[in-house]
Structures are given as C-alpha cells and as structure tokens.
Amino acid sequence: MSVSAPFARILAAGRPQFNNRVTEARRLYPGFDSDGFAAFLMNGVDPVIAAVSELSPDMAAPVVLAAYDIALTLCCQGLAGPKARNPLVGRVWVELLPRLVRPIIESPGETLGALSNAAVYLGKNPGLRNDEWLGHMAALAPKADTAASLLALGKVLAWRSGAAHFRAGALLAADTLPEEMALAAVGAASGERWAAVRENFIANPWWLPGGKLSPGREAGGFAGFGGSFRQSPEVRASEPGFWVKSGDRFHLLIADAWGATLHPASAEEFALPPPPTQGPRPVCKGAQIIFASQAVTLDLPAEGLAVVCNRHTAAVTSPYSYSIRLFPLQ
C-alpha cells in the first residue's frame, strides 16, 4: 500500500493498535475484505490526511485516528471500498472531504462521521438525487468555516436534492447559516433576504426561488420496476402529507417542490380522519383534473380516477396505475 508520507508515518507509529483493530474486525465480520479496506485507506482516506497535513501538520494524527476507525466501520459494513454497495460514500471521501480541511480539523470524528452517514443515507434512498447533493456540496461546503455550518449546509442540500421530509429541519438549519450561504443553498438569488425566502417556503411547499411554482411530482411506482407499490395505491389526506395504502402495507407520503418520499405507517394512521378542507378543490372531468386556474389532462383512463387534497396538494390515483400524481393546488 502506497500512501503519503504523513499518513505512512502515523500508521507506522501506531502499527500495533491499527493492526489490533483489523484483527478484531476480521473476528467480528467473517466477510471482512482486508484488501478492500487497504484500498480505501489509500484512495479515500489518504487524500484527506494529506490535505490536513498540508494545512496543519500537528492535527494529522488526531484526524488519522478518527478517519481510520470510521473507514474501518464503513468497510466492515460493505459501505466503502471497491466492492461497496453504493459508490456515494467513496465519492464523498475522494471528491468532497479533502476540500473541507478546516471543519475536519475542528471536529474530526463528528465531521467525517456525519458526512459519511449522510452519504450512506442518501445512497440507500434511490429517490434522492445523490449527484445533485454532491455537486452542490462541492460548490458550497468549502465556504463553511465550522463543522456546525458544514453539517447544517449538508441538511439543507439534502432537502433540495429530494428529501422532502427534511423540510422543517432544513429550514431551521438554514437559519443558522450566514445569509448568503443560506440563499445559495436553496438556489435563491444573492441579495435576497433569507427571511422573505423562508416565509415563501413556509407558505407553500410547491414554491421555488424565483417566484415559480413546481408543476408537481410523481411518487410510488410498481415495485417490480424499482418502485414502492405492489398494488394500486389508495390515498387519504393528512396534515404532513398523505397516508397511503397499497395492499397490506401503509406509508406516509411527504412531498414538496423538490421531492417526494415515502415512510412506513400503520393501518391506524391510514384510518385517521382527514384534516378540514379549505378553499376550492379540483374535480375530475373525464381524464382531466380541473383546478381553479388550469386543467391537467392525464395519460390514464377516466374510470376510477380519484383526487384527494390536503392544504397545499392534490394527490391523484387510478386503479390502472401504481403511481401517485401530485399537483400544487395554487
């Protein structure tokens, strides 16, 4: 294994303790790939150590200790290395972390662990746009001076990349960022006021910076083709989104302009009474859904079309589809 001189020196100085960690990993994980771990140390961890050593040589050893243990855990679980189940973790270590030296030096374990966990979470949720999140992080994260700002930024960008259920937490996280960074994280123009942008997000989940409304989204799909449902879904309105029943399985659907995510739910939750309706609601007319300001023609038979609404969103289902079509009411 060929690594940078600073990393090699620290590994050599702590060889007994590092070897003990690998021995314990082999005992606990019979399928542990030691060659894959060595490859990840060389290709994923070493660039981080080299970047840290260049800026702050005295901090290289503490970062190595944190990075080695996190890398070992990831490889034991098949989440990093050449045979990783999803490449996002490795890409974060190679493409992103070497550019985040200051937050890593400030808090090595927290920063490396949190961003690795974020990559694991995003990587196992196919509805989230991993490349988009990584691209935005690569552009904005080097401007984050602290570990706290970096992690807040990561949450906001995860929301922007499709994690609609992060919406409330992401807005709170954005409140902690410098105004220009918060605006950039949500794609708003420089010079706008975060307070005004935030109010628009709160008022309508389908609002997008620039004053546009998203045209809507689609959720679900047939499980046999990578979707979530094995039977056509039934939908009921709820305050946070929609309760969904497909066969004997239940979900909570949360959607906004940036994404739609499904979460486990129960039959009892599906049976809850819907929240009170407000304002005009769309109606079905043949294969059209008639809204107050537009009509949407669906590529579905008119028979069995159903429209369910909560405060901001209309959800359309059909016995001939495994998908749920979502439209903003305004």
- Cα-Cα-Cα-Cα torsion 129, 135, 139, 141, nearest 10 degrees, comes to 60
What's the pLDDT at 277? 75
Six-digit token pair at 12? 């050599």
Q: Do strands 288-290 and 242-246 pair parallel, antiparallel, or not at all (unpaired)? A: unpaired
CA distance 37 to 58: 25
Separation in Å, CA 277 to CA 87, 245, 283: 44, 21, 14
CA distance 236 to 27: 49
H helix or E strand, kind and range, residue 1: none
Distance of CA 79 to the CA centre of its chain: 16
Q: Which residues contact 139 (CB under 8 A, 6 or more apart)?
A: none
Name the amino acid, one letter, at 172: L
Helix (H, G, I), strand (E, B) or coil at 295: strand
* pTM for the full predicted model: 0.92
Residue boundaries of the structural domains of the chain: 5-208, 217-328
H helix or E strand, kind and range, residue 324: strand 323-328
Residue 43 CB-half CA count within 13 A: 14
- Positive or negative, the CA dihedral 79, 161, 106, 104 is positive
Per-residue pLDDT of the chain (330 residues; tens, 9 = 90+): 689 999 999 999 999 999 999 999 999 998 899 999 999 999 999 999 999 999 999 999 999 999 999 999 999 999 999 999 889 999 999 999 999 999 999 999 999 999 999 999 999 988 899 999 999 999 999 999 899 999 999 999 999 999 999 999 999 999 999 999 999 999 999 999 999 999 999 999 999 999 888 999 999 999 988 899 999 999 999 988 999 999 999 999 999 999 999 999 999 999 999 888 777 788 888 888 888 878 889 999 999 999 999 999 999 999 999 999 999 987
CA distance 148 to 114: 11
What's the pLDDT at 1? 60
What's the pLDDT at 275? 87
DSSP one-letter string for 101-165: HHHHHHSHHHHHHHHHHHHHHHHT-TTS-HHHHHHHHHHHGGG--SHHHHHHHHHHHHHHTT-GG
Nearest to 129, CA basis, from 67, 196, 217, 52: 217
